[in-house]
Amino acid sequence: MNISSIKKDYLYRLAKQGKRPDGRATSEYRPITIERGVVNMAEGSAMVSIGNTTVLAGIKMDLGEPYPDTPNKGALSTAAELIPLASPDFESGPPRENAIELARVVDRGIRESGTINLEELCIEPGEKVWVVFIDIHILDYDGNLFDACSLAASAALLDAQIPNERFEMGENRPLPVQDPPISCTFVKYNGTIVVDPSLEEDEVAEARYTVAVDKNGDIRAMQKGLSGSFTVDEIRQSIATARQMAPTIRKILEG
Amino acid sequence: MNISSIKKDYLYRLAKQGKRPDGRATSEYRPITIERGVVNMAEGSAMVSIGNTTVLAGIKMDLGEPYPDTPNKGALSTAAELIPLASPDFESGPPRENAIELARVVDRGIRESGTINLEELCIEPGEKVWVVFIDIHILDYDGNLFDACSLAASAALLDAQIPNERFEMGENRPLPVQDPPISCTFVKYNGTIVVDPSLEEDEVAEARYTVAVDKNGDIRAMQKGLSGSFTVDEIRQSIATARQMAPTIRKILEG
Amino acid sequence: MNISSIKKDYLYRLAKQGKRPDGRATSEYRPITIERGVVNMAEGSAMVSIGNTTVLAGIKMDLGEPYPDTPNKGALSTAAELIPLASPDFESGPPRENAIELARVVDRGIRESGTINLEELCIEPGEKVWVVFIDIHILDYDGNLFDACSLAASAALLDAQIPNERFEMGENRPLPVQDPPISCTFVKYNGTIVVDPSLEEDEVAEARYTVAVDKNGDIRAMQKGLSGSFTVDEIRQSIATARQMAPTIRKILEG
Amino acid sequence: MELIKDGKRLDGRKPDELRPIKIEAGPLHRADGSCYLEWGGNKIIAAVYGPKEAIPRHIQNPTRAVINAKYNMASFSVGDRKRPGPDRRSREISKITSEALENVILTEMFPRAMIDVNIEVLDADAGTRCAGITAAAVALADAGIPMEDIPVACAAGKVGDTVVLDLMGEEDQEGQADVPLAIAPRTENILLLQMDGHLTVEEFDRALELAMNGCQQIATMQREALMKKYQSFEED
Amino acid sequence: MELIKDGKRLDGRKPDELRPIKIEAGPLHRADGSCYLEWGGNKIIAAVYGPKEAIPRHIQNPTRAVINAKYNMASFSVGDRKRPGPDRRSREISKITSEALENVILTEMFPRAMIDVNIEVLDADAGTRCAGITAAAVALADAGIPMEDIPVACAAGKVGDTVVLDLMGEEDQEGQADVPLAIAPRTENILLLQMDGHLTVEEFDRALELAMNGCQQIATMQREALMKKYQSFEED
Amino acid sequence: MELIKDGKRLDGRKPDELRPIKIEAGPLHRADGSCYLEWGGNKIIAAVYGPKEAIPRHIQNPTRAVINAKYNMASFSVGDRKRPGPDRRSREISKITSEALENVILTEMFPRAMIDVNIEVLDADAGTRCAGITAAAVALADAGIPMEDIPVACAAGKVGDTVVLDLMGEEDQEGQADVPLAIAPRTENILLLQMDGHLTVEEFDRALELAMNGCQQIATMQREALMKKYQSFEED
């Protein structure tokens, strides 16, 4: 029996008693802190901590061509870098499946919520638009990257200015952003479902479920991951929990 | 003695008796079937089977700049994907030497035969031309990819329409294609030369020779491969065999 | 005790006696030969030997856009290929750290010396400039690549013509080049510092120091490499040695 | 574009109706198991190789088999030519497909092994990830890989303010939400679930119900396709 | 732009004056050792993992640990967005940083091991390679890696015909020379030294003297940051 | 452009005439064997390393040596700068060159070994693959690699409706067909044969005859170059 199966056993036994390794209740979120404007060179930035997990999102904007099928809209590109700074398990090099899934889920939440008014980022239809790059660096990995990255991306967008001055196009003005999504992630292990997993819980998780809700409590994006399964009732219950939590988290984000 | 050398021995003994593992004569081709228009989204497509080998070629066209040395001509790009679907020996990832050689030999046959009238694909000399992409996917590998890919590429070209509508340039019209090459491939093992090698024959082949002939029986492209050698007489005899077979295959292709 | 530590021991013992494996004094350079114009297809070229180390630099020029921050200047790009031809230790594939450091140090020497008059390479400010590509191939590696590559790059530049004819822009004319830097490289092992290291000395080197001086003896670039260290006095002494040697080497280069 | 008119969709379907589906088990000779699937305008082929020794070694798991699904779109399967090779979208789909299939495969029977599942999209018309999982499941069964159940996938979504089953191309592009779902049909456990767009909780419940239903219909077709192949063997 | 006016620099500093520097040891929880550094407009974070078994095996050295420093600039840390991933500049800096740190680490204590040193530039304002080495050194000490000395780095240069210490952004862009230096502060042995620009021998001597001085000042701040962390432990 | 005028070619050659060729064996010090070759406007250098243990291990063949030929064009060897690194053309040439050389090398003498053959095109003027094989063969002999025969290569082709030997640059670009050939000169066995263009069977026979003849002439020069090097050793 190796260390990892001892740890698993320990978490399983705790779970049977409805307990989590850090003493939280199954539907209890860790403290969230958000600091905006931490990177001077970025158009916008935010450092977000959920417990000991810390991520930094930065926004950069550049001029580019619109996509052929959306000539009147700016473009959005989201990337997450699991830099080896944050965990001994992250490797340098091109993004791997985990980083790609993470970035795409964050991107979908923001895109489907209409968070950025992309029409306002069109300069010359079919020719020239603003491209918004959201780059997220994981600095300290202690579980639940999906929610931390989603929050950091939203907070950085709320902080961002369109860099008209750098492109000699007049004065900077705020990026048109509204109603970012609130993402809530759950993992399941040995039959228990917990919100906002810690690192240890991420490590033993059999299934993961993320749902992004808007300010009306409507659903904008979801993603089930890992090889475990959920029942329909478990999904419904998780959505309900997420809708309960979202207003509190939204207040921290927008406050 | 391992499986592969037992197989080799078996083929060698058969070859001494002038026999092949599937009972064919040395200059006997397997049945060929060609189905055009199998892919709705492609400009043209064809599924070709030679025995149990099956490949699918699809044509896509896009607008691009001409090469500087041929400002009045459209461009052609041929790629073959040895996708792992078709054989346990194929790997995913960027194309390897075998796929590159295969695609380049198919490309040379089509290019040197003047199969596509590239002048007619010029829209604005030096500025804008049609680029024709031939992409060939191997679906089931049972020997003789060179001929199967060449046939599929030609059949897909014969099926193709210039996609003027997608680019809002008027009505679609047939791609100007004529006189595709007929490719004939031979392999040599233990002194015997056979046409249209099966998978087992490909596996023990010491040398490979492909020749593409036009409708007049003239030679348009050839490629000798693998580390074995041929004599001048063997090459001449193979060319003669190819010229005999070509009209029958051409009938299947154009019919 | 393996071959490499025997070799190291041997060099250390020699060094104690102030000797080097090929009998040179510590501040003695090997014979230099420079042959210009060896590649017909290049805009300029030079083959340089320092002892048995041989490198070939070729210049190619192309039209391109200037960098946004230098709209009135041509651009320079320097690459070194440690092709496996030159040493059993070089690998094919994308350039590795050693090749990148080498190319960047050569590039800095040339750039900081103002060797190429980049303003004269501007054709249309902000739109079209000449891009100068220096590509250096190592052919035979017997130590001291930094100096050999720097010399070859400078000699090839002195040989280069702007290829106006190939671009139908009038007659070719000499590339505006003046006062190339002279690079001098030292390595330190077991407390001894030697100039122009041979292969064996490169192999046991603990620290490396390269300095590029101009015709006035001023310093234009330097690079300390490897995990060993230098004292301030050792650096000063090396600069003095380099300034003494530079005029002789410059004569060979420009002569 | 009016996506729903008189209760009918662009292609004449009712909201809860699937597109025509054709499943053939075992069309390929070389693969250990295979499946050809037509689903509306989608054409998908899936092939399975394994279990075999996992290579390179560092990917081996000492207690179970590794499932390595690769979803790939042919360059000519879409409107504008797709560059060959995996992009970010296909890498995400490969990952979640591998995870969904791993759920039902008895992987602990084959320690240190790998099972390759190759999914090729030859012609694309929305819903290719669900079609790919459905075809891969049949190919796994055809290869004789032991599974708890044969997974099946189907999407629901919202177009023209109506929750509908199984979006086709135009509905996918112009629609308001898409909910791909994969399940193990016996238990109705959810193996894959994604959503993007805008749904109220009630609409999501309805979409999930429709997709669950669609899955069960397709599961029947999967079993029929496998039966047909085994019967044809017996007839030989 | 007039870089020196009345003996003062753009930001009001004297020629031999450092920018404000703030060093925090151990801000990260996951890393074995870490450091957060603000230096003028630079924001740098460094993390150390190891010693641990070197992987892949072929990079192992049977007699000592391998030092694997990676310098990386965040895409948003500069004016125009930097493409993610290593470019030629960052690969050169990673190489010379690895070499400089290797000099002081007692690598022969850990045969076949590797020590990863990750340096992230979050905000860039000239002098990031020196800031990175300085932060990495604190992170190594925080990780308890045995070292002969704690390396420290600082640049000098020439702007407006004056030799100055510690160039900031505009000085770096418009200046006449830049001389980054890293030393082991006890012996003043030179671990890293680069130069580009145009300096007479006398100017270079002056620049080296200034940089050496700057290094010693920063070495004091490094030690204070480490002391502060250990004291806070004792207070707990 | 009129490629043939009064029975003469652009450079004054007769149809069956080779360009001037200069072969030097062993010009490099570091390589185990090497060759420098000038052939018309082509300048080629070839170097051989090995036999040595094949790395990485998975490429080892337990019964024979692996031949690893790499054909590479210098970025400055052609009119417009070539991007450094292998492209599809050079990878095809590397493959068929490896195969041609493998035919004559007694590879079964060196199980699990590899022999690296590096071919660098420094200056290109048509026919570089033939020149590369010819140079590589001399380098292999210079390295003392045991071979059944010393391979040699030469192209023929068709320009201005005439079948000619050894096309130079303009003939290659404007010509009607090109037939590169490599043989083992003693047996005249064909090791490499390609063709593109348009030839009747009779023209192809003539081209093959010319190329075969050219090969034999060059084979003599190869042997002379090797003799010259060995003689110079004896004279020492």
Kindly report the nearest CA distance between residue E162 and chain C, in angstroms.
Answer: 16
Across the interface, which of C58, C84, C199 has its CB nearest the CB of F76? C58
Evaluate whether residue B1 is within a structural domain.
no
Closest C-alpha to F71, from F224, F221, F182: F182
Question: Domain containing C59 — which CATH number?
Answer: 3.30.230.70
pLDDT band at C89 (very low <50, low <70, confident <90, very high): confident
pLDDT band at C60 (very low <50, low <70, confident <90, very high): very high
Evaluate whether residue A210 is within a structural domain.
yes
Are F and C touching by the rule of 3+ CB pairs within 8 Å? yes
Closest C-alpha to F213, from F11, F15, F1: F15
Evaluate whether residue B13 is within a structural domain.
no
- Report the residue of chain C nearest E194, measured CA to CA: C223
- Report the residue of chain C nearest F139, measured CA to CA: C85
Paired with E43 in beta bridges are E38, E123
Kindly report the nearest CA distance between residue D228 and chain A, in angstroms.
Answer: 30
CA distances from A139 to A32, A34, A52, A158, A249 (A): 15, 14, 10, 21, 21
Evaluate whether residue B103 is within a structural domain.
yes
Whole-angstrom distance, CA of residue D83 vs CA of residue D105 = 32
pLDDT band at D235 (very low <50, low <70, confident <90, very high): low
F30, C203 contact by CB (below 8 A): no
| Helices E201-235, C232-254: inter-axial angle, 10-degree rounding | 140
∠ at Cα D208 (D205, D212), nearest 5°? Answer: 140
pLDDT band at F142 (very low <50, low <70, confident <90, very high): very high
- Report the residue of chain B nearest F95, measured CA to CA: B97
Across the interface, which of E99, E199, E205 has its CB nearest the CB of C226? E99
Q: Do D29 and B86 touch (CB under 8 A)?
A: no
Whole-angstrom distance, CA of residue E226 vs CA of residue E142 = 7
What's the confidence (pLDDT) of residue B5? 83
Closest C-alpha to D69, from D119, D105, D31, D29: D119
Structural domain count, chain B:
1
Among C35, C36, C39, C41, the strongest candidate for a mutation testing the F interface, having the largest count of F CBs within 10 A, is: C41
Evaluate whether residue C174 is within a structural domain.
yes
**Residues constituting chain B:** 255
Among F63, F193, F209, the strongest candidate for a mutation testing the B interface, having the largest count of B CBs within 10 A, is: F193
Contacts of F49 in chain C (CB under 8 A): 84, 88
What's the confidence (pLDDT) of residue F235? 65
Paired with F107 in beta bridges are none
| Burial call C8-29: b when 16+ CB within 10 Å, e when fewer | beebeebbeeeebeeebeebeb
F29 has a chain C CB within 8 A of its CB: yes
Strands A128-140 and A75-81: parallel
F186 has a chain B CB within 8 A of its CB: no
Amino acid at A226: L
Peptide bond into F56 cis (omega under 30): yes
Whole-angstrom distance, CA of residue D119 vs CA of residue D73 = 8
- Report the residue of chain D nearest B47, measured CA to CA: D122
- Residue A190 token pair: 């040995």
F194, F177 contact by CB (below 8 A): no
Among E190, E192, E209, the strongest candidate for a mutation testing the C interface, having the largest count of C CBs within 10 A, is: E190
Domain annotation for chain F: domains and CATH numbers: 17-235 (3.30.230.70)
**Residues constituting chain D:** 236
Contacts of E193 in chain C (CB under 8 A): 209, 222-224, 230, 235
Across the interface, which of E94, E190, E201 has its CB nearest the CB of C219? E201
Among B77, B96, B113, B224, the strongest candidate for a mutation testing the F interface, having the largest count of F CBs within 10 A, is: B224
| pLDDT tens digits, B100-133 | 999 999 999 999 999 999 999 999 999 999 999 9
Whole-angstrom distance, CA of residue C18 vs CA of residue B96 = 53
Across the interface, which of F103, F193, F195 has its CB nearest the CB of B228? F103
| pLDDT tens digits, A80-126 | 989 899 988 888 777 789 999 999 999 999 999 999 999 999 999 99
Kindly report the nearest CA distance between residue D19 and chain A, in angstroms.
Answer: 25
Across the interface, which of F29, F76, F124 has its CB nearest the CB of C59? F76
Task: Evaluate if pTM is beyond 0.90.
Answer: yes
Among B213, B232, B237, the strongest candidate for a mutation testing the F interface, having the largest count of F CBs within 10 A, is: B232
- Residue D198 token pair: 């805008």
Whole-angstrom distance, CA of residue A142 vs CA of residue A88 = 12
Q: Do F92 and B100 touch (CB under 8 A)?
A: yes
List, in order, residues 6 or more apart from F234 with CB less than 8 Å away: none
E96 has a chain C CB within 8 A of its CB: yes
C206, C197 contact by CB (below 8 A): no
What's the confidence (pLDDT) of residue B1? 47
Q: Do C101 and E188 touch (CB under 8 A)?
A: no
Whole-angstrom distance, CA of residue C238 vs CA of residue C244 = 10
Q: What share of chain E is helix, strand, coil (3-state, %, to 5)?
A: 35, 35, 30
| pLDDT tens digits, E50-97 | 999 998 888 899 999 999 999 999 999 999 999 998 999 999 999 999
Q: Do B100 and F191 touch (CB under 8 A)?
A: no
| pLDDT tens digits, B148-178 | 999 999 999 999 999 999 999 999 999 999 9
pLDDT over 80 at F61, yes or no: yes
Report percent pLDDT > 70 for chain B. 99
User: Between A and D, how many residue pairs show a Cβ–Cβ distance under 8 A?
Assistant: 83
Residue with tokens 């004279």: F235
Evaluate whether residue B47 is within a structural domain.
yes
| DSSP summary character for residue D83 | P
| DSSP summary character for residue B118 | G
Q: State phi, psi for D70 to the nearest 5 degrees.
A: -125, 115
Domain encompassing residue C34? 22-254
- Report the residue of chain E nearest C94, measured CA to CA: E88
Rg over alpha carbons for chain C, rounded to the nearest Å, is 19
Are C and A touching by the rule of 3+ CB pairs within 8 Å? no
Q: State phi, psi for C170 to the nearest 5 degrees.
A: 105, -155
| Helices E88-104, C97-112: inter-axial angle, 10-degree rounding | 110
Closest C-alpha to F71, from F180, F228, F197: F180
- Of the candidate ranges A103-107, B7-11, B247-251, the one whose mean pLDDT is the lowest: B7-11
CA distances from F147 to B49, E224, F90, F109, F202 (A): 42, 70, 25, 11, 34
A199, A141 contact by CB (below 8 A): yes
Host H or E run for residue D177: strand D177-184
Residue with tokens 């000779």: D29
Kindly report the nearest CA distance between residue B111 and chain F, in angstroms.
Answer: 9
| Burial call B41-70: b when 16+ CB within 10 Å, e when fewer | bbbbbbbbbbbbbbbbbbbbbbeeebeeee
Q: State phi, psi for F216 to the nearest 5 degrees.
A: -65, -40
Residue with tokens 């079609």: D131
Evaluate whether residue C9 is within a structural domain.
no
C141, C98 contact by CB (below 8 A): no
